[in-house]
Amino acid sequence: MSYLGNDPAEAYSPTVKDTFSGNGSTTDFTLSIPATTNSVNVYVENVAQEPTTAYTISGTTLTFTAAPVSGTDNIYVIHRGPAVQQVVPPAGVAIDASTVTASGDVSIADKIVHTGDTNTAIRFPAADTVTVETGGSERVRVDSSGNVLFSTTTTPDTVVGATGAGMAYEANGFLGIARAGANLILNRRTTDGDMVVFRKDGTKVGAIQSRGGEFIAVGSGDTNLEFNFGSDQINPSSGTAARDDAIDLGASNARFDDIYATNGTIQTSDRNEKQDIEELSEAEQRVAVAAKALMRKFRWKSAVEEKGDDARIHFGIIAQDLQAAFEAEGLDAGRYAMFISSTWWETYTDVPAVEAKEAVLDDEGNIIEEAIEAKDAYVRTDTYDTAEEAPEGAVERTRLGVRYPELLAFIIGAL
C-alpha cells in the first residue's frame, strides 16, 4: 500500500487488560502497570468511559469520578500497546516535547545544544571523550584516559609548561595549573589554623597554617618556621605560637654550609638568666692558654675533594686537641658548652641507576605511561639518633665540634 511520510511502526508491545469488580462505593483501583489518562481505554458494564471526565490515572492508580456500580468483573481497562520499534522523524524535523523520558540509551551523533543558545553545548567530539562548551569555546573536557581538563586541551603533565591558562586533573591524581598570575588563592575564614595539610599514606606530615591574622607557619607538629611579615622576622614556632629556645637549625649530621648575614649572631647574655657565675679556675686558665697555642690552619677534606688545589685555607682549633687540653688538667671537656660531641647511627643502601624512558601516548596524544628521567646510581644514607631505633648493622658515627664565640671568650679570659 502506498503512503506518505515515514515507514509506519509495525511492532507493538503486548496489549494488557486489567479487570476489576465494582461495589458501588470504591473509586480507586490499582493497575498492573503505570499508565496515563489518555493511554488506556476504560469500560464499565461494557460502556466506554470519557477520559478526565469519568476517570483519571496517576501512575498505577485509576480513580473514577463516581463509584462504578456493583458487579463481577464489570470494569476492565485496556492498555494500548505503544510501538516498540524505533520511529525516526524526517531529518530536520524537531520533536516538540517538554519532557523526554527514556528507559534505555539515547543515541546522539554529536552534541546536545541549549535551546536559544546554540553556542552552549555538551559534545562528543571523539571516542570516549566528552566536552562542555559555552560561548562557542570548549571549557571542560574528559578525555579517553580519564583526565579532566579545564579551559585547556593540554594533558596534565605538560599543562604546567604551557603558555596559555588552564587546569588539568589526571586520572592518577596529578593536578597541573597554568596561569599568568597567581595559580591558587587560599582564604581561611574566621579562626587561625591549617590552610594546607600534607599527608603521607593518610598520616599528616606537615602543614601551612595561618596565625595571628598576619603570620604563616610552615612545618610539622610543633616544629615550624613562622613568617611574620609585619615585623620582618622568621621565627621558630609551634604552629600556634612562637616557640622560644627549643628548635635547632641543622644537626651534627645535617649541616648547613654557609650563612650570609649583615651582622653576627646575637646570643642572650642577660645576668637575670644566668647562675653559678664565677671567674675561671687556675686549671681552666691553663686550658685556655693551651687552647690559644692550639690554633691551626687547615683545609676541609670535602673541599679538597671537590675543588682540589683551589680549596681554601681555614683557621681554627681541632676539637680533639681541645678535648685533650681539658683532660690534661683533669677536666671533662663535655662539661663545657664550647665543646660539642654528637653521635648518631647510619645505614647505607645502594640505589641502582635508572634508565631514561620516553612517555607512552595513546592515539589521541594522552599519556598512558609517564616519562622517566635518567638517574645515576648512588648510595642512600639513612640516619638514626639512637642505637635503639637504628637497625642491626648500622654504623655508629661521632663528630666533634666547637662553639667559637665561647672558645674565644674562654681564651680571652685567661689573657
Same domain for 87 and 60, yes or no, is yes
- Predicted confidence band at 116 (pLDDT cuts at 50, 70, 90)? confident
Q: How many domains does the chain have?
A: 3
Same domain for 290 and 317, yes or no, is yes
Same domain for 146 and 72, yes or no, is no
Domain at 363, CATH number = 1.20.5.1240
With respect to residue 243, please indicate whether it lies within any of the assigned structural domains. no
Same domain for 121 and 91, yes or no, is no
For 384-406, the pLDDT digits (tens) are: 999 999 999 999 999 999 999 99
Same domain for 293 and 381, yes or no, is yes
CA distance 237 to 228: 11
Same domain for 61 and 169, yes or no, is no
With respect to residue 121, please indicate whether it lies within any of the assigned structural domains. yes
Same domain for 387 and 406, yes or no, is yes
Residue that wins the pLDDT comparison between 161 and 176: 176
With respect to residue 66, please indicate whether it lies within any of the assigned structural domains. yes
CA distance 215 to 225: 10
Cell numbers representing residue 9 in the block? 511502526
In what order do the strands lie in the sheet containing 378-384? 378-384, 339-351, 395-402
For 206-234, the pLDDT digits (tens) are: 999 998 777 889 999 999 999 988 888 89
CA distance 340 to 344: 13
| Positive or negative: CA dihedral 357, 360, 365, 370 | negative
Residue that wins the pLDDT comparison between 103 and 42: 42
With respect to residue 234, please indicate whether it lies within any of the assigned structural domains. no
Cell numbers representing residue 35 in the block? 499508565
With respect to residue 50, please indicate whether it lies within any of the assigned structural domains. yes
Beta carbons within 8 Å of 412's beta carbon, 6+ residues apart: none
With respect to residue 308, please indicate whether it lies within any of the assigned structural domains. yes
Same domain for 7 and 92, yes or no, is yes
Same domain for 54 and 154, yes or no, is no
Cell numbers representing residue 368 in the block? 598512558
Same domain for 40 and 116, yes or no, is no
Helices (H), 228-297: 282-292
pLDDT at res. 81: 67
pTM of the model: 0.61
On the question of pLDDT at 176 being above 60, the answer is: yes
| Contact call for residues 315 and 297 (beta carbons, < 8 A) | yes
Choosing from 65, 80, 104, the residue where a domain stops is 104
Choosing from 156, 178, 200, the residue where a domain stops is 178
One-letter amino acid of 153: T
Question: What's the domain range around 78?
Answer: 1-104
Query: Residue 275: helix, strand or coil by DSSP?
Result: coil
Q: What percent of the chain has pLDDT over 70?
A: 89
Same domain for 90 and 141, yes or no, is no
| Contact call for residues 60 and 30 (beta carbons, < 8 A) | yes
With respect to residue 269, please indicate whether it lies within any of the assigned structural domains. no
Choosing from 88, 104, 120, the residue where a domain stops is 104
